[in-house]
């Protein structure tokens, strides 16, 4: 691993250039993400929003790649080390897929068999004021027993579920 | 594993025993696998968040929740501004960390010290931002088990939005905090010439891996909570 | 800049190894040699003996609840003196029954078969068989044990709190585990359970990272990955499974802690508790916890099983005096089992409201496990085939393992099918399946390992006659206990019930239950016989006089009879061949450190 002096300097310059490059790339990706995020606020089209969200996820993965590959130096490690890191990470594919699949299935099941759950998603409630009332609820949370807690919170939720009979 | 058969003759030699197949000491190998393990911890949290969000009918709009800014008048509408500052702080501190590791490889003590200090400042700045945001949200009535925000479509929201927000950003903040502590220890060790005596700055490299991992996790947390 | 300096730090041990021949090192006090030891061999023994203590406690618990199941109408006054208010009038109360079942499960799965099995043998065998002086980080190794010990103490203390230990099943599903008011065991008992498990996760992480780094980085010269004994491969995959799956459990438990103490509702929704009223928790999903739990839970099954698979492969090969059949196939099947372990978790959840289409994918992935398992079984059988078999107690237990692995594995194919599982779920069929394939089989692997490596651990032999007695009673007992349970399960008998005598449909099993309970007690008593053998032999057993009593090829038998810290007094041996050169070129066995001869036929 011994380099001659000029080698060492060339190597240094190269490494610094790489750090600079990756910093710029990460910044640009983040700025693009933010622009997309701002743009999304004004949008109403479901399809377009979904497409933008997909783009953001891709940018997120790209950022992750640059951090791991260059900042954490993985790209310059021995191939063996890269493989032992990357191969186990692929377990996340099924980890994410199965969990989210079952999550959305759970929502569909409840919407189908639990009318209360479905109805709740259609009742609009008043936007609550910023103020002391919520603090009470927050602080009470910690001290009171579950039964009492139910009452405290219940008042703020009263509007949310007016006279829907529980089905369970 | 499978790489043994496909590796070039030079790489195949690495597996013959008597030395590390990765050309690195065991501490770095352990740090990498620890980070893998930690990635599964964070992964499990974020995937749980996704699962619950997918199984709920409505969800608050992050742009309506995270729209305030320090010292700005009450009711200011500045979504994404504050969090983008936090993100840049963490990216910059990651860059200074890379520079510290790089300086360490060149046995440049001054460079290590300078960049470690910058990294620590970045970490503390990030933690301060997070403390401000938590405090602000708390005063809006948000906490574990309390969610003052409505769903994007105006229906009542469950508390899981804030539950997950505080748990996951809290767990990340805890990692940032321990990263700052580790970096401070590394800085002190550098100042005491510990690494000069050892002849290498490998410890800085390992601390760097941890710090970049914290940055990496923030990339995901930031995107998932504030943008999606 | 070079890594070499750091890499060779370990050679510091070398000088250390020179001056001791295993008796005593001058600087070692009692505390540093037996308590806070950093010698992997001592840490292994600590894991083993702590595991044994837990095995006795966990086994005793099973005897107590089998007493209830076998003799539901009788009362045993001595039970009241033992358990006090938990056995009023000499009969175990339902609350105590559930606490016993829960603690039995938790303790045996995590403390005995995870820490006690892979903790013991990974620590003991990895440095010895790969030719290293010690683990990569002996200090972390010590911490790993002491975290486990602390976890043990916390779990033990939960047995003595007033409201009793946690009693909602070892899986700790919410809401029973998430609500203090759900049951007596859900109060302090559950808090202690959570603390204990969190400590245990830390212990297993410290241990696992160490095992992986040691196996990858510290192999001796010539020890390529494909020259590693299968024990090491198995322990390697075990460690990988632990490092990647335990953190997911930790996340799940952290969310559970928030649900318990900080008013969140990650797992809670729409709940009414008798005597408390409706809870305000909304929007959570109890199934989420099950997913998180089983994402660990299923790899955990293989964490328990893989070390046994590895040790059995090694022991069978040594005692058949034949090379292991299909080394690469064995390796590949270990690898694919390790991968599949992460893909099949939801087959534990077919009846919890899992999406049936998702379930069908899990059925497919689950059934794939049959392939590597089948490969392993056939390879063991073909290794035994026409071998010159030496029936040592260790070998008997290894063969017993193969038998149990087949019997229990076949019922796994039944249960892996969602359609059948809907009927069999939570019945005694499941109890029989996982006790045979995971519980008893892994215990057999552990016994095989203890009998086989005892001479290396203590420099003495275990008593053979007691060993044979131990094997035959345990082997017959295992089948007598768990075989009938298949029939009970097929007849619909559910698990976790307190008293079957009040059910008209299960009255027919009264005699059978009594029979099972009786055998369980006999088998438990036999394990005490093993313990007597174990502790007696440490001090009075027949002394080992030769370096290599089993005439095995692996490196641990090249160390002195009682190796000191550092393992080899001189140079670490260099490896020239794989560990399975038995009956080759007219030699009965050729140890790994023997250089390849000139006219030797193809070497591995």
In the block, residue with structure tokens 């899981």: B160
Q: A56 with A76, same domain?
A: yes
A84-90: which pairs have CB atoms within 8 A and are 24 or more residues apart?
A84/B1, A84/C216, A85/B32, A85/B36, A87/B1, A88/B36, A88/C240, A88/C244, A89/B36, A89/B39
What integer is the mean pLDDT of C452-463? 95
What ipTM was predicted for this assembly? 0.92
- Residue C114 pLDDT: 95
Q: A81 with A96, same domain?
A: no
Would you call C265 and B159 a contact, using CB atoms and an 8 Å cutoff? Answer: yes
Is residue C226 within 8 Å of residue C604, measured between CB atoms? yes
Task: Give chains near A: 3+ CB pairs under 8 A.
Answer: B, C
Task: State yes or no: cis peptide before A131, omega within 30 of 0.
Answer: no
Euclidean distance between CA atoms B155 and A121, whole angstroms: 6
Task: Give how many domains chain B has, as a whole number.
Answer: 1
- DSSP 3-state helix, strand, coil percentages of chain A (rounded to 5)? 75, 0, 20
Q: A116 with A145, same domain?
A: no
A103 shares contact with chain C (CB less than 8 Å): yes
Higher pLDDT, C518 or A127: C518
A96 shares contact with chain B (CB less than 8 Å): yes
Chain C residues closer than 8 Å to A98 by CB: 291, 346, 358, 361-362
Here the tokens at position C437 are 């394939």
- Residue A5 pLDDT: 65
Whether C601 has a pLDDT exceeding 90, the answer reads no
Whether B2 has a pLDDT exceeding 60, the answer reads no
Euclidean distance between CA atoms B80 and C86, whole angstroms: 58
What integer is the mean pLDDT of C326-334? 95
Going by pLDDT thresholds of 50, 70 and 90, the confidence category of residue C25 is very low
Q: A112 with A64, same domain?
A: no
Q: A25 with A72, same domain?
A: yes
Coil, helix or strand at residue B155: strand
Would you call A137 and B228 a contact, using CB atoms and an 8 Å cutoff? Answer: no
Q: A79 with A100, same domain?
A: no
- Residue B23 pLDDT: 78
Chain A residues closer than 8 Å to C217 by CB: none
Of the partner residues C277, C358, C362, the one whose CB lies closest to the CB of residue A105: C358
- Dihedral, CA of residue B65, residue B68, residue B73 and residue B75, to nearest 10: -20
What integer is the mean pLDDT of C32-46? 91
Q: A111 with A82, same domain?
A: no
Q: A79 with A15, same domain?
A: yes
Going by pLDDT thresholds of 50, 70 and 90, the confidence category of residue A140 is very low
Higher pLDDT, C339 or A125: C339
Going by pLDDT thresholds of 50, 70 and 90, the confidence category of residue C15 is very low
Higher pLDDT, C48 or A159: C48
Of the partner residues C3, C287, C343, the one whose CB lies closest to the CB of residue A102: C287
- Residue A43 pLDDT: 84
Q: How far apart are the first and last CA of chain C?
A: 36
Is residue A64 within 8 Å of residue B220, measured between CB atoms? yes
Whether A8 has a pLDDT exceeding 80, the answer reads no
Q: Give the domain extent around B49.
A: 26-227
- Whole-prediction pTM value? 0.91
- Residue A166 pLDDT: 41
Q: What is the pLDDT of residues A31-71, one digit of tens each?
A: 999 999 988 888 888 899 999 999 999 999 999 999 999 99
Of the partner residues C272, C280, C353, the one whose CB lies closest to the CB of residue A154: C280
A168 shares contact with chain C (CB less than 8 Å): yes
Is residue B36 within 8 Å of residue A84, measured between CB atoms? no
Whether C538 has a pLDDT exceeding 50, the answer reads yes
Going by pLDDT thresholds of 50, 70 and 90, the confidence category of residue B12 is low
Asked, for residue B2, whether it belongs to a domain, the answer is no
- Residue C353 pLDDT: 87
What integer is the mean pLDDT of C357-371? 95
Asked, for residue B5, whether it belongs to a domain, the answer is no
What integer is the mean pLDDT of B195-220? 93
User: Which residues, in sequence order, are CB contacts of B118 under 8 Å at separation 6+?
Assistant: B93, B96
Chain B residues closer than 8 Å to A104 by CB: 54-55
- Please give the residue of chain C at the shortest CA–CA distance from A154: C280
Would you call C7 and B20 a contact, using CB atoms and an 8 Å cutoff? Answer: yes
- Residue A95 pLDDT: 95
User: Which residues, in sequence order, are CB contacts of C384 under 8 Å at separation 6+?
Assistant: C316, C320, C399
Q: A14 with A82, same domain?
A: yes
Task: Point out the least confidently predicted range of A142-156, C80-94, C111-125.
Answer: A142-156
Q: A58 with A70, same domain?
A: yes
Whether C98 has a pLDDT exceeding 70, the answer reads yes
Going by pLDDT thresholds of 50, 70 and 90, the confidence category of residue C26 is low
- Residue A158 pLDDT: 39
Task: Give how many domains chain A has, as a whole number.
Answer: 3
Going by pLDDT thresholds of 50, 70 and 90, the confidence category of residue A165 is very low
Q: Which residues pair with A124 in a beta bridge?
A: B155
Whether A136 has a pLDDT exceeding 70, the answer reads no
Going by pLDDT thresholds of 50, 70 and 90, the confidence category of residue A128 is low
Would you call B29 and C226 a contact, using CB atoms and an 8 Å cutoff? Answer: no
What integer is the mean pLDDT of C31-47? 91
Asked, for residue B10, whether it belongs to a domain, the answer is no
Q: What is the pLDDT of residues A62-84, one digit of tens each?
A: 999 999 999 988 888 888 889 88
Q: What is the pLDDT of residues B134-182, one digit of tens each?
A: 999 999 999 999 999 998 888 989 899 999 999 999 999 999 999 999 9
Whether B5 has a pLDDT exceeding 90, the answer reads no
CATH of domain C35-268+281-589: 1.20.210.10
Of the partner residues C220, C246, C255, the one whose CB lies closest to the CB of residue B48: C255
Q: Chain C: nearest CA to A139, how far in angstroms?
A: 11
Going by pLDDT thresholds of 50, 70 and 90, the confidence category of residue B18 is confident
Higher pLDDT, A167 or C428: C428
Here the tokens at position B167 are 């748990």
Domain boundaries, chain C: 35-268+281-589
Whether C252 has a pLDDT exceeding 90, the answer reads yes
Q: What is the CATH number of the domain that holds B215?
A: 1.20.120.80
**Helix segments in chain B, DSSP class H:** 3-6, 9-13, 26-54, 62-65, 81-105, 109-139, 160-191, 194-198, 202-222
Restricting to A residues 146-165, those with a Cβ less than 8 Å away from any Cβ of B are 153, 157, 159-161
Whether C424 has a pLDDT exceeding 60, the answer reads yes
Q: What is the pLDDT of residues B62-75, one digit of tens each?
A: 888 888 888 877 77
- Residue B74 pLDDT: 72
Whether C416 has a pLDDT exceeding 80, the answer reads yes
Here the tokens at position A44 are 């109403």
Going by pLDDT thresholds of 50, 70 and 90, the confidence category of residue A127 is low
Q: A23 with A9, same domain?
A: yes
| Crossing angle between the packed helical segments C120-130 and C40-70, to the nearest 10 degrees | 150
Return the DSSP state at C506: G
Asked, for residue B44, whether it belongs to a domain, the answer is yes
Q: Which residues pair with C273 in a beta bridge?
A: C277
Chain B residues closer than 8 Å to A118 by CB: 57
Q: A12 with A82, same domain?
A: yes
Would you call C358 and A142 a contact, using CB atoms and an 8 Å cutoff? Answer: no
Q: Residues of chain C with pLDDT > 90: what percent?
A: 84
Q: Give the domain extent around A32.
A: 5-88
What integer is the mean pLDDT of C452-468? 95
Q: Residues of chain C with pLDDT > 70: what percent?
A: 95
- Please give the residue of chain A at the shortest CA–CA distance from B96: A19
Q: Residues of chain A with pLDDT > 90: what percent?
A: 42
Asked, for residue A168, whether it belongs to a domain, the answer is no
Cα of C50 vs its chain's centroid, Å: 13
What integer is the mean pLDDT of C84-96? 91
């Amino acid at each position: 691993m011994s380099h001659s002096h000029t080698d060492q300097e060339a190597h240094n310059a190269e490494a610094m250039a790489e750090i600079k490059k990756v910093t710029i790339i990460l910044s640009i990706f983040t700025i693009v993400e933010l622009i997309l995020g701002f743009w999304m606020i004004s949008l109403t089209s479901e399809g377009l929003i979904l497409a933008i969200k997909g783009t953001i996820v891709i940018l997120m993965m790209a950022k992750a790649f640059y951090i791991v590959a260059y900042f954490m130096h993985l790209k310059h490690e021995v191939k063996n080390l890269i493989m032992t890191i990357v191969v186990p990470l692929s377990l996340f594919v099924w980890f994410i897929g199965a969990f989210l699949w079952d999550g959305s299935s759970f929502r569909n099941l409840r919407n189908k068999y639990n009318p209360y759950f479905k109805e709740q998603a259609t009742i609009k409630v008043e936007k609550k004021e910023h103020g002391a009332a919520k603090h009470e609820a927050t602080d009470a949370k910690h001290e009171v027993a579950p039964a009492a807690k139910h009452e405290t919170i219940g008042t703020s939720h009263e509007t949310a579920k007016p006279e829907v009979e529980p089905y369970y | 594993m499978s790489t043994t058969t496909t590796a070039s003759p030079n790489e195949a030699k690495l597996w013959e025993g008597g030395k590390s197949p990765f050309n690195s000491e065991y501490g770095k190998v352990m740090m990498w696998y620890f980070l893998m393990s930690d990635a599964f911890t964070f992964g499990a949290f974020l995937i749980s968040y996704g699962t619950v969000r997918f199984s709920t009918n409505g969800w608050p709009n992050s742009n309506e929740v995270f729209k305030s800014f320090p010292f700005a008048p009450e009711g200011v509408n500045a979504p994404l501004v504050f969090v983008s500052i936090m993100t840049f702080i963490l990216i910059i501190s990651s860059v200074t960390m890379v520079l510290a590791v790089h300086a360490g490889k060149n046995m440049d003590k001054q460079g290590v010290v300078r960049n470690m200090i910058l990294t620590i400042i970045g970490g503390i700045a990030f933690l301060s931002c997070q403390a401000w945001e938590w405090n602000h949200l708390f005063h809006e009535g948000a906490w574990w088990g309390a969610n003052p925000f409505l769903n994007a479509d105006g229906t009542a929201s469950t508390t899981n939005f804030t539950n997950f927000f505080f748990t996951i950003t809290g767990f990340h903040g805890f990692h940032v905090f321990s990263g700052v502590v580790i970096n401070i220890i590394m800085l002190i060790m550098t100042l005491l010439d510990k690494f000069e005596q050892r002849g290498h700055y490998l410890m800085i490299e390992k601390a760097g891996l941890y710090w970049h991992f914290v940055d990496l996790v923030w990339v995901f947390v930031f995107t998932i909570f504030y943008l999606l | 800049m070079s890594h070499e300096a750091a890499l060779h730090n370990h050679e510091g041990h070398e000088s250390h190894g020179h001056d001791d021949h295993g008796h005593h090192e001058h600087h070692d006090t009692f505390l540093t040699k037996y308590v806070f030891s950093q010698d992997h061999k001592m840490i292994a023994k600590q894991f083993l003996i702590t595991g044994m203590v837990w095995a006795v406690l966990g086994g005793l618990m099973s005897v107590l609840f089998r007493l209830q199941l076998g003799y539901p109408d009788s009362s045993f006054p001595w039970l009241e003196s033992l358990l006090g208010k938990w056995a009023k009038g000499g009969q175990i109360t339902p609350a105590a029954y559930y606490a016993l079942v829960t603690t039995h499960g938790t303790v045996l799965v995590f403390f005995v078969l995870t820490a006690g099995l892979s903790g013991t043998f990974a620590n003991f065998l990895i440095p010895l068989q790969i030719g290293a002086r010690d683990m990569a980080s002996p200090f972390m190794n010590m911490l790993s044990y002491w975290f486990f010990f602390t976890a043990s103490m916390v779990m033990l203390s939960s047995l003595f709190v007033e409201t009793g230990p946690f009693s909602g099943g070892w899986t700790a599903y919410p809401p029973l585990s998430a609500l203090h008011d759900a049951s007596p065991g859900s109060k302090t008992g559950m808090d202690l359970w959570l603390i204990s498990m969190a400590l245990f996760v830390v212990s297993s992480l410290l241990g696992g990272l160490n095992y992986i780094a040691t196996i990858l980085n510290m192999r001796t010269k010539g020890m390529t990955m494909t020259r590693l004994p299968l024990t090491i491969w198995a322990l390697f995959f075990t460690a990988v499974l632990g490092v990647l799956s335990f953190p997911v459990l930790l996340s799940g438990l952290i969310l559970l802690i928030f649900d318990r103490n900080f008013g969140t509702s990650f797992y809670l929704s729409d709940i009414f508790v008798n005597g408390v009223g409706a809870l305000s928790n909304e929007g959570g999903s109890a199934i989420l916890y099950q997913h998180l739990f089983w994402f660990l839970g299923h790899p955990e099954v293989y964490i328990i099983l893989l070390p046994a698979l590895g040790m059995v492969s090694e022991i069978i090969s040594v005692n058949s005096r034949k090379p292991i059949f299909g080394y690469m196939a064995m390796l590949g099947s270990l690898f694919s089992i390790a991968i599949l372990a992460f893909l099949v978790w939801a087959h534990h959840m077919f009846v919890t409201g899992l999406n049936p289409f998702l379930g069908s994918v899990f059925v497919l992935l689950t059934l794939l496990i049959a392939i590597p398992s089948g490969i392993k079984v056939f390879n063991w059988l073909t290794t035994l085939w026409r071998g010159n078999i030496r029936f040592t107690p260790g070998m008997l237990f290894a063969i017993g393992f193969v038998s149990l692995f087949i019997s229990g594995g076949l019922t796994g194919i039944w249960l892996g099918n969602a359609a059948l599982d809907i009927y069999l779920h939570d019945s005694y069929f499941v109890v029989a399946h996982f006790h045979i394939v995971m519980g008893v089989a892994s215990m057999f692997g552990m016994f095989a390992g203890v009998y086989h490596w005892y001479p290396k651990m203590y420099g003495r032999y275990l008593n053979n006659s007691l060993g044979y007695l131990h094997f035959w009673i345990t082997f017959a007992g295992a089948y007598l206990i768990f075989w009938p349970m298949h029939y009970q399960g097929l007849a619909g008998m559910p698990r976790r019930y307190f008293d079957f005598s009040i059910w008209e449909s299960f009255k027919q099993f009264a005699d059978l239950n009594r029979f099972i309970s009786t055998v369980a007690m006999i088998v438990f008593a036999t394990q005490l016989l093993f313990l007597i053998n174990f502790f007696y032999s440490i001090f009075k057993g027949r002394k080992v006089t030769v370096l290599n009593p089993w005439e095995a090829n692996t490196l641990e038998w090249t160390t002195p009879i009682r190796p000191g810290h550092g393992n080899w007094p001189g140079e670490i041996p260099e490896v020239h061949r794989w560990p399975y050169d038995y009956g080759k070129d007219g030699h009965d066995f050729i140890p790994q450190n023997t250089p390849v001869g000139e006219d030797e036929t193809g070497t591995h």
